[in-house]
Structure 1
Amino acid sequence: MSNSLWRYVKNVQKMGFKNYVRAMWYIGDAKGGKFVGEDQFGNKYYENLNPEEETPGRQRWVDYTQHNFDASQLPPEWHAWMHHIRKDPPSSDFQMLQASRPKWIGPFRENLSGTRGAFKTYSTTQPKFHAWDPKVSQRAPSASA
Structure 2
Amino acid sequence: MKNFLLQLFTWWNGQTMGTRFFTWRKGKRVGEDQFGNVYYEGPMSTYGLQKRWVIYKGYAEASAIPPGWHGWMHHRTDVPPTKQDYKAHEWQKPHHANLTGTAAAYRPQGSLAEGGQRPRVTGDYDAWTPGN
What TM-score, normalized by structure 2, do the two folds share? 0.57
1:73, 1:111 within 8 Å by CA — same for their partners in 2?
A: no
Q: Could you tell which deviates more after superposition, 77-86 or 104-113? A: 104-113
Q: Is the 8 A contact 2:72 2:78 kept in 1?
A: yes
Q: What SS does the corresponding residue of 1:91 show, helix, strand or coil?
A: helix
CA distance in 2, matches of 1:112, 1:58: 33
Question: Following the alignment from structure 1 to structure 2, what is the Cα–Cα distance between the partners of residues 120 and 26?
Answer: 39
In the alignment, which residue of structure 1 is the partner of 2:55?
63
Task: Give the counterpart of 2:96 among 88, 96, 109.
Answer: 109
CA 61–120 in structure 1, closer or farther in 2 if over 3 Å, else same: same
Partners of 1:126 and 1:109 in 2: how far apart?
Answer: 28
- Name the larger-Rg structure: 1
CA gap 1:117/1:90 in 2 versus in 1, 3 angstroms? farther
Comparing both structures, which one devotes a greater share of its residues to strand? 2
Tell me the matched-pair count: 102
Cα distance in 2 for partners of 1:126, 1:59 equals 49
Deviation of 1:110 after TM superposition, in Å, equals 3.3
Query: Where in structure 2 are there 5+ consecutive unaligned residues?
Result: 1-6, 9-13, 111-115, 122-132
